């Protein structure tokens, strides 16, 4: 049995989406900027798709800027706002649990002389609104807070956060790559100035995403060339990608079904495997995210054994990262390094079935037992936690 539970990484492109895309490769392959009929056909598809996507978050179509994906959207938001508002200030506020596509540009801006504040989160992964209020100064130009966290699934109250930002006259951006179409988003009602989303997390194709930029927001273009995308991002539009993205938005999301299976998976693991801990908030979490630390086992070993049984998951273990550092998100919620090591993320999709979850739990129990039997570290045995014992080369 093959069970794909890594939908937070990427998803299967749905058949409906593939069918919608194909004509735009084979027949309507024109450049949307061209004046002939081939171009007109592409332009028509582009604007129709833009409208569908804009409606999903109650934006106006011209506020949607298509990009190559979530990372580009995040980079455009952070750097574009920073460079576009230098006159106002040089301070950016974000959080300790952002995706690298936010942390990366923030670090670059810091090296260029910008000031960056990283908000703390509590043990469930929520920022503290009081800290946010305190940190906003007259030099602050942007607050960027991830909506649904990609690792632990915690969903922030972005409406409240945005309200604070609006009151203080500061732009608010949210990375909604994981939450888009899973959580209700109304950019007008919620006062969101900028929002990043990506197609391949929702059964659309890879290489396409968007940044919603509220009308009137002062942002500097980052990619120069033609005057595409309301003159905010140059480059011939990826029409097949955009058409596929719009189709994916229109799919039946089956959120209730996913959520039910998510809770079933959590319940069974907690009931049938000892010494486990659910990471992230139990209720305010992405409908498809389960992140659990299995004590006394290491995540990479667990992942590989599950892989051998056809089950695909991911881990926040330091041993699986190129830096040998545990996930910054798990560290930010206060997890000890040893508990971060045993963390596994299961992310479901509309295609996940109960049989798949039952199979996963059955195999998981075997693998956890196998690894715990092999481990000298057990309940009641305390090892002195000192860092870097044998890490010297």
Partner 1 sequence: MAIDYTKKVMRVFRNPKHFGEIKNADGVGVVGNPACGDIMKVFIKVGKNKKGEEIIKDIKIKTFGCVAAIATSDTMADMIKGKTLKEAMKLTNKDVAKKLGGLPPIKMHCSNLSEEGFRAAIKDYEKKKK
Residue 290 CA to residue 344 CA, distance in Å, equals: 8
Choose between 200 and 350: whose C-beta lies nearer to partner 1.
200
Instruction: Give backbone dihedrals phi and psi of 183, rounded to 5 degrees, phi first.
Output: -115, 150
Closest approach, Cβ 383 to partner 1, in A, equals 5
Please give the biggest Cα pair distance in the chain.
75
Q: Do the Cβ atoms of 311 and 367 come closer than 8 Å?
A: no
Catalytic annotation, pick one of 1, 22, 304, 319? 319
Choose between 216 and 392: whose C-beta lies nearer to partner 1.
392
Question: Binding residues for partner 1, per CB under 8 A?
Answer: 296-301, 304, 308, 314-315, 317-322, 324, 336-338, 341, 373-377, 383-393
Choose between 8 and 240: whose C-beta lies nearer to partner 1.
8
Closest approach, Cβ 325 to partner 1, in A, equals 11
Closest approach, Cβ 334 to partner 1, in A, equals 14
- What single string gives the DSSP state of each residue in 199-262? STTTTS-SS-EEEEE-TT------S-SS-HHHHTS-S---HHHHHHHHHHHHS---HHHHHHHH
Tell the burial category of 121 from Cβ atoms under 10 Å away from its Cβ (0-12, 13-18, 19+). Answer: buried
Tokens 């130009």 sit at which residue?
141
Choose between 111 and 381: whose C-beta lies nearer to partner 1.
381
Tell the burial category of 51 from Cβ atoms under 10 Å away from its Cβ (0-12, 13-18, 19+). Answer: middle
- 165 a catalytic residue: no
Choose between 129 and 370: whose C-beta lies nearer to partner 1.
370
What pairing do the DSSP bridges indicate for beta strands 289-294 and 276-278? antiparallel
Three-class SS state of 180:
strand
Angle at 153 between CA 8 and CA 184, to 5 degrees: 90
Active site residues: 319
């Amino acid at each position: 049995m093959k069970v794909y539970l890594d939908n937070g990484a990427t998803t299967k492109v749905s058949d409906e989406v593939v069918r919608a895309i194909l004509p735009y490769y084979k027949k309507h392959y024109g450049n949307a900027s061209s004046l002939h009929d081939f171009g007109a056909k592409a332009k028509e598809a582009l604007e129709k798709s833009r409208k569908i996507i804009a409606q999903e978050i109650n934006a106006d179509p011209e506020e949607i800027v298509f990009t190559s994906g979530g990372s580009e959207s995040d980079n455009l938001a952070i750097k574009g706002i920073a460079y576009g508002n230098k006159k106002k200030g040089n301070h950016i506020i974000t959080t300790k649990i952002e995706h690298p596509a936010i942390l990366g540009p923030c670090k670059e801006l810091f090296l260029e002389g910008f000031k960056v504040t990283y908000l703390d989160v509590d043990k469930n992964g929520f920022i503290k609104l009081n800290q946010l209020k305190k940190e906003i100064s007259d030099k602050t130009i942007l607050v960027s807070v991830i909506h649904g966290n990609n690792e632990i699934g915690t969903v922030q109250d972005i409406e409240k956060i945005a309200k604070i930002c609006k009151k203080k006259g500061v732009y608010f951006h949210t990375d909604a790559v994981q939450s888009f179409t899973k959580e209700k988003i109304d950019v007008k009602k919620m006062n969101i100035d900028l929002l990043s989303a990506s197609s391949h997390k929702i059964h659309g194709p890879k290489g396409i995403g968007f940044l919603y930029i509220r009308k009137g927001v002062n942002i500097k273009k980052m990619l120069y060339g033609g005057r595409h995308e309301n003159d905010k991002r140059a480059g011939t539009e990826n029409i097949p990608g955009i058409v596929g993205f719009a189709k994916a938005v229109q799919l039946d999301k089956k959120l209730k079904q996913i959520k039910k299976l998510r809770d079933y998976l959590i319940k069974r693991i907690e009931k049938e495997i000892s010494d486990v801990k659910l990471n992230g908030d139990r209720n305010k979490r992405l409908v498809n995210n389960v992140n659990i630390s299995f004590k006394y086992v290491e995540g990479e070993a667990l992942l590989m054994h599950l892989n051998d049984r056809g089950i695909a998951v991911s881990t926040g273990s330091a041993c699986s990262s190129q830096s040998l550092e545990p996930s910054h998100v798990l560290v930010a919620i206060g997890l000890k390094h040893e508990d971060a090591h045993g963390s596994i993320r299961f992310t479901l999709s509309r295609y996940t079935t109960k049989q798949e979850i039952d199979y996963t739990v059955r195999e998981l129990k075997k693998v956890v037992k196998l690894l715990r039997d092999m481990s000298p570290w057990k309940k009641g045995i305390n090892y002195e936690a000192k860092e870097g014992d044998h890490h010297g080369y």
